[in-house]
Amino acid sequence: MDAPSAPIKPAPPNPVTDESMAPAPIDVKSPKRFINRELSWLQFNRRVLAEALNKTYPLMERLRFLSISASNLDEFYMVRVAGLKAQVATGASSESPDRMTPLQQLRAIDKSVAELRHQQQQCAEEILAELKKDGVELVIPDNLTQHEQVWLSQKYQEQIFPVLSPLSVDPAHLFPFIPNLGYTLILDLENLADGERMVALVILPSQLKRFVRLPGKKLRYISMVQVVLMFLDQLFPGFRMVSSGVFRIIRDSELELDEEAEDLVRTFKSALKRRRRGSVVRLTFDDQITEELKDFVVEQLGGPTNDVFRFKYLGLSDYKELISDEKPGLVFPSYTPRFPERIRDFGGDCFAAIGSKDIIVHHPYESFEVVLQFIRQASQDANVVSIKQTLYRTSEDSPIVQALIDAAEAGKSVTAMVELKARFDEAANIEFARKLERSGAQVVFGFIDLKTHAKLSLVVRREGERFVSYAHLGTGNYHPITARIYTDLSFFTCDPQICGDVMRIFNYMTGYAKPANLKQLSIAPLDLRERLMADIASEAEHARAGRPGRIWAKMNSLVDPDIIDALCGASQAGAQVDLVVRGICGLRPGIPGYSENIRVKSIVGRFLEHSRIFCFGNGSDLPSPKATVYISSADWMPRNFDRRIESLVPITNPTVHQQVLNQIMVANLRDTECSWMLQADGAYRRVPPSKAPFNAHAFFMTNPSLSGRGSALRPGKLKGKQKTFRKKKKKAKV
């Protein structure tokens, strides 16, 4: 085993060149010590948009980031802004930890989003112009060739016209319901026979793609709206179009549940129907619409007039439909995840490999197929007697669900803990829960007031005269598609204590029996917060005693006030705290006398950072074999600690411990090419170019021996691998 790398010494969290720029001290009890959650999230989405503006990326990858930033903003309005508006409407006086009222937050959001939307529109203009130069074109009807016109006419007749419904709006025909995120064409029409005018609508069904790929080898597209307008006389024969426009609605999509409901599935089906008819939160029009048509729509919808906007590029989230791998130079070089070598060494036998030693798998650099193989092998193994599985999010036609169905139909005892409250996946979860029930599996929907977010699998296998348990504990969902782009960890073990804890946690979720004697794991809402608070306090005590106090943590979000105060208390005691927080962070680093020993960075790049890793030095400099290391399903947010079932898993196996701490955490902290540093004022600054640049994503992609062999990272090793990656990028013309 290689020697561990040298400890990382955190740089000053907010380096300044002028003392006048240094952050001012702050009262440790002042609400100003917190960064507003909503504004912090908008800062995260700015970092996503910055990737779309990154000219070193291939054009279609830039378009993908633009689409993600737009989709993120849509969901932000559907949930967070909708919630704030509801508080204002009901007169709620609740304040955020930084003491902003809902109305104050909405005003701050409006100001920040105005700039963000403008940048998105400019970015779209730039990317589409560059794509056109590379032969990817969004055309208008006048630019169609004769062949394309004939082909499009046939496609319209066969696949588009049958699903469209022309709708007039008059006293006899009320304004129809417009679905959330739906596109609607509004028309001012004139009757050719008598000159009478009427307003009409064409709601574009969600089953139709936003853009139509034209025939031929060239990447030429036309928008669905333009196609409908081309053949408008077939929808409204005898009418002439005077003017037209397109609008798009964002509705309140937060579920409201009756917590006393006895039939949870029926409750969710009803709630989903209410979501589809939620109040209008945001209304956007294309820039071609007339004032008369715009005002007509606003009046009919009764929407808020201060959330009505015009854009040249409407619904940028759907522009991902233009992305194609037919032009390799316009996308990232293809990447094939490695299958874990340990499993290969045992001929693909997961149980034999896990039985020999605990295994950690680093997704997406290592294939999620190993998780699928673990469940499939369990479903087909005659010696397996039971499988227990949590399901929060998974894919359509999920191979995990199919393996559980196969196991149940084979007579094994299968228990599926299905979370119905997985936002925007509720309907899909209801459907596969019914499939599981029909196969004979026991399906449990868990607590009505707690969301089951833990990622756990437990397989019990007969081996000779005894039963042996095998567990999978993860930081991400059982979703084979997102596992290709999310960085997550899968931990496999047959440790009796950990497997026993997993069994007790399943018993808690299915039978409400609180586990009183967990040996290794902690769970929310019972003791996860308390365990982390104790570890943070311990590092503060080490610092006060003159020993190294060290905390490294990686997560998606940090907003819990108690945890933030505890971290800042450790900083005041002299502990060094390094945090990698991808998204929302409510902690202000670098405040004298409060958080001067805390550094916060965010990594945004080719992959979505999703793994949660928490490391405590235990009186030693990190990385150290003495350190306490956890992986977890939980971010550091009140909802994760108090309103969810979450798992905290200690990593004690020396090889796995070293892989997580010395490899993954060190690489994240050393990253310079994908990193942004959080400033005391809540803004983020990209890490400036380095003489020795390091890209964590590139490193893990190009280091085939990293996982499974237990080696630690060394500075020389990092440098060599980075050179290799840059040569490959240059060769691929990226």
Q: Percentage of the chain surpassing pLDDT 90?
A: 73
List phi, psi (to 5°) of 474. Answer: -125, 170
Q: How far apart are CA 714 and CA 734, in angstroms?
A: 27
Q: In which residue ranges of the chain is CATH 3.30.870.10 found?
A: 19-33+523-731, 341-514
Are 175 and 199 a contacting pair, CB within 8 Å?
A: no
Tell whether the model's pLDDT for residue 91 goes beyond 90.
Answer: no
| Cα–chain center distance at 490 | 17
Token pair, residue 389, equals 């599985």
Range 166-183 average pLDDT: 89
Mark residue 14 as left, alpha or beta (left: phi above 0; alpha: psi -120 to 50; beta: remaining): beta
Q: Tell whether the model's pLDDT for residue 267 goes beyond 90.
A: no
Category of 733 on φ-ψ map: left (φ > 0), alpha (ψ -120 to 50) or beta: left
The pLDDT-based confidence of 733 (bands split at 50, 70, 90) is very low
The DSSP output letter for 346 is T
The superfamily (CATH) of domain 19-33+523-731 is Endonuclease Chain A (3.30.870.10)
For the whole model, what pTM was predicted? 0.88
Confidence of residue 422 (pLDDT cuts 50, 70, 90): low
Q: Rounded to whole angstroms, how far apart are CA atoms 652 and 629?
A: 8
Examine the pLDDT at 269 and tell me if it is beyond 80.
no
Helix 37-52 vs helix 102-133: crossing angle, to nearest 10: 10
Averaged over 251-271, what is the pLDDT? 54
Residue 196's pLDDT is 93
Q: What letter does residue 78 receive in the DSSP assignment? A: I
The residue behind tokens 């958080």 is 595
Q: 314 pLDDT exceeds 80? A: yes
Q: What is the pLDDT of residues 68-89, one digit of tens each?
A: 999 999 999 998 998 898 888 8
640 or 13, higher pLDDT: 640
Annotated catalytic residue 453: yes
Quote the CA–CA distance of 579 and 599 in Å, as a whole number. 6
What's the whole-number average pLDDT of the chain?
88
* CA nearest neighbour of 230 among 354, 338, 140, 357: 140
**Separation in Å, CA 510 to CA 266, 389, 432, 503:** 19, 11, 18, 11
Q: How far is residue 622's CA from residue 644's CA, in Å, rounded to a whole number?
A: 30
Sign of CA dihedral 655, 661, 665, 670: negative
224, 156 Cβ separation under 8 angstroms: no
Mean pLDDT of 178-187: 92
Q: Which of 363, 453, 472, 610 is catalytic?
A: 453
**Alpha-carbon gap, residue 617 to 81, rounded angstroms:** 40
Fold held by 341-514: Endonuclease; Chain A (3.30.870)
Q: Interior CA angle at 356 toward 520 and 610, to 5°?
A: 55
114's CB contacts (< 8 A; 6+ apart) are none
Cβ–Cβ under 8 Å, residues 302 and 284? no
Between residues 502 and 722, the one the model is more confident about: 502
